[in-house]
Amino acid sequence: MVSDTGISKTTHGAVTTSDGLQLAVHRLGDPEAPSVLLLTGAFSNHTFWLGTRGVGFARFLAGEGFCAYVLDFRGHGQSQLKPPGAHWCFEDWAVHDIPAALGVAANTGPARVVTHSAAGAAALTALALQPELGEKVAKLAILATPYPSLRGFRSLTARFAVFFCHHCGRFPARFLHFGPEDEDGGIMAQWLQWNLNGAWVTREGLSVLSHLPKLSFPLLLVAGAGDWLWSPPPLCQRLWQVLPAANKDFWVVGGGDTCPLRPGHVSLVTHPECRRRFWPRLAAWLR
């Protein structure tokens, strides 16, 4: 399902993945304008980019002359819930969901893609598994996605979370106040295991970062200066260093005398000061 938010007329029908699920894609802006596909991380849905009070980065992009497409990953937002007996994993985002969304956003030409958190890893996995998808990408901005590494107490809590996901089938993100959506246990368990192992390795044994094709489009990685738990700037920079792109940039938002704000994992996108300072800069890079 592709829904219209009232800024532009809906022109697409249902968005169906290669494994038969119906996904919701929300669109704002002129459909003839340059398109931007916005992908959320775990525990989230379209409200992360659209906002809940009429203020969101997708709306800002539409006002800046882009056509913004916001995907609800499987089981989230207005997308189809998990069918009985189905078994999902994190790779499904890369193999099924992102290609389906790109088919919509890149309908009239390559789309700019903006990801947050785990969605950055999913986008890179999609490019590693299906290199032809690169032809549909004009630029890729990866926000708050670290190089896979979990150590110390983060490792201990992640191992417990993997155990919980396997036995309960869900990760209780809403109860923990991590976000508005619980995460499917299979999806969350694989994502956490990748980071525990220090490598994104698919079920077929393919190392994502080792098999990425040369990225011909501009690439941007962004970290929040105060994101010490989920995506510390040094780990985001390490991911940027290993990505095979000739044209790539790395930004740290916040900190220093000129910007005392040190945004965290979510506030990198949602904080009012980041709206004022970061959104225009990112929109200019996308343009």
**In CATH, what number is assigned to the domain containing residue 273?**
3.40.50.1820
In a domain, 175, yes or no: no
In a domain, 192, yes or no: no
- Give the integer Cα–Cα distance in Å for 151 and 13: 45
Give the per-residue pLDDT at 10. 33
Whether residue 171 contacts residue 161, with contact meaning beta carbons closer than 8 Å, is answered with yes
In a domain, 194, yes or no: no
Nearest to 129 by CA among 41, 213, 235: 213
Give the per-residue pLDDT at 259. 65
In a domain, 195, yes or no: no
In a domain, 185, yes or no: no
Q: What is the pTM of this model?
A: 0.92
Q: Name every residue whose Cβ is closer than 8 Å to that of residue 287 and which is 6 or more positions away in sequence.
A: 34, 64, 65, 66
Provide the β-strand partners of residue 274: none
> Residue 66: which domain range?
2-152+204-286
In a domain, 226, yes or no: yes
For residue 16, give both structure tokens: 């169906």
Q: What is the DSSP letter of 34?
A: P
Nearest to 214 by CA among 250, 247, 236: 247
Provide the angle, in degrees to the nearest 10, between the axes of the packed helices 185-197 and 118-129.
80
pLDDT in tens, the chain (287 residues): 555 544 433 334 469 999 999 999 999 999 999 999 999 999 999 999 999 888 999 999 999 999 999 999 999 999 999 999 999 999 999 999 999 999 999 988 999 999 999 999 999 999 999 999 999 999 999 999 999 987 676 788 888 888 898 889 999 999 999 999 999 999 999 999 998 989 999 999 999 999 999 999 999 999 999 998 889 999 999 999 999 999 999 999 997 656 678 999 999 999 999 999 999 999 999 99
Number of domains in the chain: 1
In a domain, 111, yes or no: yes
In a domain, 126, yes or no: yes
